[in-house]
A and B are shown apart, each in its own frame.
Chain A
Amino acid sequence: MIELKRDKLVFSFPEVHPEARFEIEFERTLRIPDDGRDHFLPPGLGAFPLKHVDDFADGVPAGWLEHGGIMLPMHQAEAMWLNFHSAYIRGRGARYPFAVKIAAGKIDAVSGEQWTNGLHGVPQDYLVVPKQPWLDGFCVEKGIIRQFVAMPLGAGYTAEEQITGKGEIGGLQIVVYPMKREVFERRFPKRDRRDSLLEEQSCISMASAPDMGLAPGGRMRQEIYEDPFDFDDWDRSRSSRCFVHIANSLVWRAITGEAPPTVPPTAAVYTAADLPWFDYYDEGAAALEGSDILKQLRSIIELGRAKRETPVPENDGIDTPRVVRLGDRRSRNQVREGMF
């Protein structure tokens, strides 16, 4: 079952476990410079608004209604990251594990393979939550992703267009599989009360087409972790999936009557204001090798140069940023107190 709650996509599997609940937030962020350097994690600037496509049946393209799901607005060349959260199960000292497959334009962001509904262990085409706290882009090398950056479908920049030669799908596709209940209960046995307490302390006017897809932006340090469980631990008989349409912010107001969020600051302005970037590293986890398919992707800037186009408004480099090493709190949404 999938619900929308306060701009979060909530997947729940009450038939598997009463507390098997997984949430995704689609976070606004800075576009990191696409300059060949490996950048730290940019901040979260708040969640994108999410709407049911069915609520705007008169305004959205017919294909969106056929896909179902939800929609969100993005400015051209705006970046996004996905923030994952799974429910903490009291008494077992653990969060419920999920296998999560993420694709952009039906290109798997981890393996680079074209979309299929099932899970694949070799090559691994999914993330394991809560081990993986977030995803910022396409896994192009071990420990490196290329940032998700919105580009209009049809312009040739999206991962989908670079790999398939067609720009027909766009958006994001997500499918979530819970761990089998008996496996969860075996792997995370009940703990006594004292242990638990200790742990707690610690278009319409269609001037432009609405469809956007995700293209590979700048390079960022981020490991995509290997599945630490057995492949058979996942309940592959149960899954929930959702199509997330990305509407060009220029037509969002025409579709919904509401203003899209403002354009985020540039990475250079943000860094010059001495606001923090983030670094996160889990020493106990093994990272996946990058996908050979995704490694071949050309970044927006590289492709723009070849096409003699200026696909993004600016691509200024940044000075050495102030970096916050993330510990257990793992929160990148700490910029609310900043000054611009």
Chain B
Amino acid sequence: MMKHFGEYVRERREELRAKNPEFSLRKIAARIDVEPSYLSKVERGEQPPPSEAKIKLLAEALGEDPDALLAMAGKISSDLQKAILQRPQLFAELIREMKNMPDHAMLRLVREVRDGNW
């Protein structure tokens, strides 16, 4: 079963703290500008996950992927929301089609930076 957001954050932070005291609850709370007691409650699941902006800061502080952390918190990044809202049916259809597809069968869409004449 997927871990809940707070449990995952605590495990990850504690793992990092074992090597570096900069990852203490107090230091991380200061880095994302929240009270340590609030972060502690979030980690214990006593408070719901914080805002998108705070989750992104937390992802940066812990070296985690922000989209993955947002998804774990039941949120999606506002830029993705905006993209979906522009073409909601198309994206809904795409995600439903692809949800059970194994990774190896999923074609990764890569947009390359175009080179020109210079």
Q: Which residues of A are in contact with B by a Cβ distance under 8 Å?
A: 1-4, 9, 52, 54, 65-70, 106, 169, 173, 201, 240-243, 336-337
**A-chain residues with CB within 8 Å of residue B19 when the two chains form the complex:** 201
| Contacting pair A3 B118 (CB below 8 A) | no
| 30 pairs of residues in contact across A and B, judged by CB atoms under 8 Å | A1-B110, A1-B112, A2-B112, A2-B115, A3-B111, A3-B112, A3-B113, A4-B111, A4-B113, A9-B113, A52-B111, A52-B114, A54-B114, A66-B116, A66-B118, A67-B117, A67-B118, A68-B113, A68-B116, A69-B113, A69-B115, A69-B116, A70-B113, A169-B118, A201-B19, A240-B115, A242-B115, A243-B115, A337-B30, A337-B31
**B-chain residues with CB within 8 Å of residue A336 when the two chains form the complex:** 31
**B-chain residues with CB within 8 Å of residue A52 when the two chains form the complex:** 111, 113-114
User: Chain B interface secondary structure, helix, strand, loop or mixed?
Assistant: loop
- Closest chain B CB from A3 CB (angstroms): 6
- Closest chain A CB from B78 CB (angstroms): 14
* B111 nearest in chain A by CB position: A3
**A-chain residues with CB within 8 Å of residue B116 when the two chains form the complex:** 65-69, 243
State which size class the interface on B falls in.
10 to 19
Report Cα–Cα, A68/B113, bound state, in Å. Answer: 8
Besides A65-B116, A242-B115, 13 more A-B contacts (Cβ < 8 Å) are A1-B110, A2-B112, A3-B111, A9-B113, A52-B113, A66-B117, A67-B117, A67-B118, A68-B115, A69-B116, A106-B118, A241-B115, A243-B115
Report Cα–Cα, A164/B5, bound state, in Å. Answer: 57
**Which 4 pairs from chain A and chain B are nearest by CB?**
A68-B116, A2-B113, A68-B114, A67-B118
